[in-house]
């Protein structure tokens, strides 16, 4: 089965079950591709897309990524065993980029953050973690904080944004750690201003709480904040970063922070089953991502703003009665588009447009958000740099007209 476009969206396409079908019809239904399969096939075949996400590419293309491994690491070195060698080199690289004393490689961000916050809970004596209800652990991790790590998530605000300093300062119950997802993906990949972020961190310090950044996409935040990575990461007591969400690696994550915390985290990583025998393919792909993709991220963010503005202009010119591009000026290179149509209707229209034109404007799935309302995420990567503003406007205009004819 072909994977979904979204990395951790937590939903799946629905499958309709029909009773009393003839055997021939059942066979036809089984052979017919699902909407997800059609969408991914159209995306792969299309000459023009806004992003070509590596994890959805054919296996042959993914393996070809390692052809560049010799440019980022000495391949005559002995392979890694339980975290040494190339894995250790990656950890040092991340710590240097984020300006922290140390970093530890983890196979998943879910594990890295549980370990980090469990360690902080032991040090503060308080297992309560203040976080947004749209944050990744609350939406996608099956209550792992409470079910696995003995942590107690407390929800700080229900607004589709990061909490304010006032909300942190006046929160009605104590907490040992404040976790901030930067950017907050499910709210639209949104970020606070630099001033707001520093005030929130200061408010947590006033309450003697530690601050942990869920920085899965922290690599993408420098343009919005106008600050280098080490200055952003320096606000927090610990930071988690992903290697595949921004850098197109095979997987993996890192936890960065004080050397004493990282030393303790390594012990918990072992207990959680994360001390994997060999991780050299993933570690090499992460080093390649840091070399190739990290320097280009600001360019992607800049172009995403061009794409968002042109998309808005095209949908308006196409005559749609209502739509929303959120944020209007993207904070990173990903953003949301909301349309007043049922998800299955707009999804089918997006697939048909891709199949018939070879141009993919909306490559991701559509989520229902209410009666006659749905949203999708738009990603802009290197492939999107080939699109001019007029290209985007024209594609959006045509898509709007298709919807109105539906």
Give the chain's mean pLDDT: 93
If pLDDT is split at 50, 70 and 90, which confidence band does 31 have? confident
**24 pLDDT tier (thresholds 50, 70, 90):** low
Mean pLDDT, rounded, for 286-300 = 98
Predicted confidence at residue 3, as pLDDT, reads: 36
- Residue 28 reports pLDDT greater than 80: no
Is pTM, for the whole model, over 0.85? yes
% the chain with pLDDT above 70: 93
Average pLDDT over residues 93-109: 98
Residue 406: the pLDDT is 80
Query: Mean pLDDT across the stretch 116-139?
Result: 97
Lowest mean pLDDT across 1-5, 28-32, 49-53, 391-395? 1-5
Region 159-185: what's the mean pLDDT? 97
Task: Reduce the secondary structure of the chain to three states and give it as a string.
Answer: CCCCCCCCCCCCCCCCCCCCCCHHHHHHHHHCCCHHHHHHHHHHHCCEECCCCHHHCCHHHHHHHHHHHHHCCCCCCCCCCCCCCHHHHHHHHHHHHHCCCEEEEECCHHHHHHHHHHHHHHHHCCCEEEECCCCHHHHHCCCHHHHHCCCEEEECCCCCCCCCHHHHHCCCCCCCEEEEECCEHHHCCECCCHHHHHHHHHHHHHCCCEEEEEECCHHHCHHHHCCCHHHHHCCCCEEEEECCCCCCCCCCEEEEECHHHHHHHHHHHHHCCCCCCCCHHHHHHHHHHHHHCHHHHHHHHHHHHHHHHHHHHHHHHCCCCCCEEECCCCCCCEEEEEECCCHHHHHHHHHHHHHHHCEECCCCCCEEEECCEEEEEEECCHHHHHCCHHHHHHHHHHHHHHHHHC
What is the pLDDT, as a whole number, of residue 26? 57
Examine the pLDDT at 15 and tell me if it is beyond 60. no
Q: Is 301 left (phi over 0), alpha (psi -120 to 50) or beta?
A: alpha
pLDDT per residue over 301-337, tens digit each? 999 999 999 999 999 999 999 999 999 999 999 999 9
Q: Average pLDDT of 338-346?
A: 97
pLDDT score, position 69: 98
In this predicted structure, what is the pLDDT of residue 10? 37
**Is pLDDT of 150 > 80?**
yes
What mean pLDDT comes out for the span 132-151?
96
């Amino acid at each position: 089965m072909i994977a979904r476009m979204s990395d951790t969206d937590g939903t799946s396409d629905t499958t309709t079950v029909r009773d009393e079908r003839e055997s021939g019809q059942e066979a036809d239904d089984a052979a017919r591709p699902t909407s997800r399969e059609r969408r991914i096939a159209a995306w792969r075949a299309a000459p023009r897309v806004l992003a070509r996400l590596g994890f959805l590419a054919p296996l042959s293309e993914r393996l070809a990524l390692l052809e560049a491994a010799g440019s980022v690491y000495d391949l005559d070195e002995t392979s890694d065993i339980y975290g040494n060698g190339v894995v250790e080199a990656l950890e040092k690289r991340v710590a240097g980029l984020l300006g922290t004393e140390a970093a530890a490689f983890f196979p998943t961000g879910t594990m890295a953050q549980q370990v980090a916050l469990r360690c902080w809970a032991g040090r503060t004596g308080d297992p309560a973690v203040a976080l947004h209800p749209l944050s990744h652990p609350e939406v996608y991790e099956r209550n792992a904080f409470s079910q696995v790590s003995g942590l107690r998530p407390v929800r700080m605000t229900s607004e589709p944004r990061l909490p304010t300093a006032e909300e942190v300062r006046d929160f009605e119950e104590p907490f040992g750690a404040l976790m901030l997802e930067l950017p907050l993906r499910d709210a639209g990949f949104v970020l606070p201003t630099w001033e707001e972020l520093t005030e929130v961190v200061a408010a947590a310090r006033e309450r003697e709480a530690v601050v942990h950044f869920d920085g899965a996409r922290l690599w993408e935040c420098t343009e919005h904040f106008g600050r280098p990575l080490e200055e952003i990461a320096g606000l927090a007591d610990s930071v988690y970063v992903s290697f595949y969400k921004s850098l197109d690696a095979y997987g993996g994550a890192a936890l960065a922070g004080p050397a004493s915390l990282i030393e303790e985290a390594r012990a918990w990583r072992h207990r959680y089953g994360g001390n994997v025998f060999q991780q050299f393919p993933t570690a090499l792909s992460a080093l390649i991502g840091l070399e190739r993709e990290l320097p280009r991220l600001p360019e992607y963010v800049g172009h995403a703003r061009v794409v968002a503005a042109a998309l808005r202009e095209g949908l308006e010119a196409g005559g749609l009665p209502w739509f929303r591009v959120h944020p209007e000026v993207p904070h990173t290179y990903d953003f949301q588009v909301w349309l007043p149509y049922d998800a299955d209707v707009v999804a089918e229209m997006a697939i048909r447009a891709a199949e018939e034109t070879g141009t993919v404007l909306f490559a991701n799935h559509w989520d229902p958000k209410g009666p006659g309302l749905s949203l999708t995420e738009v990603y802009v990567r290197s492939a999107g740099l080939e699109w001019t503003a007029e290209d985007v406007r024209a594609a959006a205009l045509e898509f709007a007209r298709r919807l109105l004819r539906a």
